[in-house]
Amino acid sequence: MKLLVTGGAGFIGSNFVRMALTDRLPLENLEALTVLDALTYAGDEENLKEVANDTRYKFVKGDIRDEALVAELFKNHDVIAHFAAESHVDRSIDGGSEFVSTNVMGTQVLLDAAHRAEIKRFLHVSTDEVYGSIETGEWPEDHPLLPNSPYSASKAGSDLLVRAYHRTHKLDTITTRCSNNYGHFQFPEKVIPLFVTNILEGKKVPLYGQGLNIRDWLHVDDHCRGIALALTRGRAGEIYNIGGGTELTNLDLTYKILEVMGVGEEVIEKVADRKGHDLRYSVDITKISKELGYSPQVNFDEGLKATAAWYKENEAWWKKHKASTNKS
């Protein structure tokens, strides 16, 4: 397998690359792995230093919208794992153009190149947010797409393009839709690293509204294992939900973080709720469990403790990224 990983210097993508090159994923005969990343604010080549000396590894700085670059890279690869995306909901609410450009147009450039190069498999990493919001029960993979933010709408658009290239061109595609990820190397604008690092800085933690929104939490290691299973064993043209099995209200999550960090509720600062804030996400993982043998392995409480410990031990990393965010 000669694997191209887009967005491989970001949070989930870099974790996938590190696990792949240290034999922690079910990937057979991995001959070469190239990371294509534009190194926007959330990408950091430092995330890959653990595997930088692996002879199979190569890093290319570039944009997935660069048609010439993408076409050239596809000449030397036969499988693609597409992680690259703009992913922060609040930023998409402030302005959606970059989300549409990267997530929709960028995916279209990759799909066109994959079709022309006759790539063996194109795996597209998506999100449960494309389904919208669900009061009770769980979403199966064939649930209608009802996105509610510019971010999730752009991901839904990319999902539909992937489906279209499979149906029209018979391109071998797989789409995965994950629940909320957490773990080390996550950019500190997302809720868990934001709250942990704010507490380390002696700041308040901003809790939206009453904190009653519910999310399913998935450790990034489990997510990457699910992606690897879909990449190697999934059926062409299929969609697979990947969940963590731990549903929490944002308020319950906050109290768990406070407990791990050894502080009281006085650090909570309730702020105005996000526009169009989805109430609850919950994915049905029956399909990937039965077909591919997936199940989440990381206990949430243990994973949260390990994540908080990582941020305590890697202050220089997250302070650098917080500083860059404040300047933007």
The one-letter code for the residue type at 324 is S
The dihedrals phi and psi of 89, each to the nearest 5 degrees, come to -60, -45
Helix axes 191-200, 250-261, angle to 10 degrees: 40
Nearest Cα residue to 38 out of 7, 78, 83: 7
Residues 15 and 218: their CA atoms lie apart, in Å, by: 13
Instruction: Report the half-sphere exposure of 242 (CA within 13 A, side-chain side).
Output: 32
Residue of 112, 131, 141, 151 marked catalytic: 151
Report whether 224 contacts 288 (CB < 8 A): no
Residues 300 and 201: their CA atoms lie apart, in Å, by: 24
Q: Based on the residue annotation, tell me whether 128 is a catalytic residue of this protein.
A: yes
Joined together, the tokens standing for residue 203 give 């700041």
Report whether 250 contacts 268 (CB < 8 A): no
Beta carbons within 10 angstroms of residue 236's beta carbon:
12
Count of residues making up the chain: 328
Residue of 86, 128, 159, 278 marked catalytic: 128
- Percentages helix, strand, coil for the chain, rounded to the nearest 5? 45, 20, 35
Q: Based on the residue annotation, tell me whether 151 is a catalytic residue of this protein.
A: yes
Helix axes 150-169, 107-117, angle to 10 degrees: 20
Nearest Cα residue to 151 out of 179, 173, 132: 132
Residue of 44, 129, 172, 216 marked catalytic: 129
Q: Which residues are catalytic?
A: 128-129, 151
